[in-house]
Amino acid sequence: MATQADQQTQSGTTGHQEVNHKSLLQSDALYQYILETSVYPREPEPMRELREITANHPWNLMCTPADEGQFLNMLLKLINAKNTMEIGVYTGYSLLATALALPDDGKILAMDINKENYELGLPVIQKAGLAHKIDFREGPALPVLDQMIEDGKFHGTFDFIFVDADKDNYLNYHKRLIELVKVGGLIGYDNTLWNGAVVAPPDAPMRKYVRYYRPFVLELNKALAADPRIEICQLPVGDGITLCRRVS
């Protein structure tokens, strides 16, 4: 399985257009076909604008891929989500996909340690008339989650929660989020295939951050598969996303 570095090299040699090529598809041409045929022609203008703004950011690889943004947008509509949470915002591409899917009185509690990145995409969100749906909190999410649990009134109130943040805390998030998402609601954990590193030999060449977080992703995947409180579906969209439906 190609590492992120390998995929970037492949992208450079094949002319791949997606700025943050995270797909685990073996063929760049096939992934480009999906983007050009099904994703880009139907991508809302604000999402296209924000994606292009983010392309110029030095950390653009952190952006949710366009096909995953499309998937999240449709998923939220299918489950009629209204009250959601996002941990890890970056410039707000997945946040914008969510905001576009929610009804006008829908709400998103959005948390990130870097408000500067969020403010890069905020003008696009404001121009789209969606800022009123977003409650952005700068700082670590765990203290906020602990306070919400302590308050008691937030238990089982969220329809959907999307996590794309520090992988070494994913299990810590899960321990709290399972109390906050409603029975029948969904939690989505991003990057659960982690550049294909989950099946790579331990001594395989990897970027330093890929190697560092690999054990945490492996631990998360094992824990989610064994958690009787949820049903799971792990999809090879983007860098891998695992959907968890709370059943008890």
Please give the average pLDDT of every successive group of 10 residues along the chain, which has 248 residues: 35 37 79 96 98 92 94 98 98 98 98 97 98 98 98 98 98 98 98 94 92 97 98 95 98
Rounded CA Rg of the chain = 17
| pLDDT for residue 11 | 35
Buried b (16+ CB within 10 A) or exposed e, 156-185: eebbbbbbbbbbebbeebbebbbebbeeeb
Q: Write down the pTM of the prediction.
A: 0.90
CB 196 within 8 A of CB 186: no
| pLDDT for residue 21 | 57
| pLDDT for residue 6 | 37
Q: At what angle do helices 45-54 and 66-78 cross, to 10 degrees?
A: 140
| Rounded distance between C-alpha atoms, residue 66 and residue 20, angstroms | 9
The residue ranges of DSSP E strands in the chain, in sequence order, are 83-87, 107-112, 134-138, 158-163, 181-190, 230-235, 241-246
Phi, psi (degrees; rounded to nearest 5) at 110: -115, 130
* Diameter of the chain measured on Cα atoms: 54
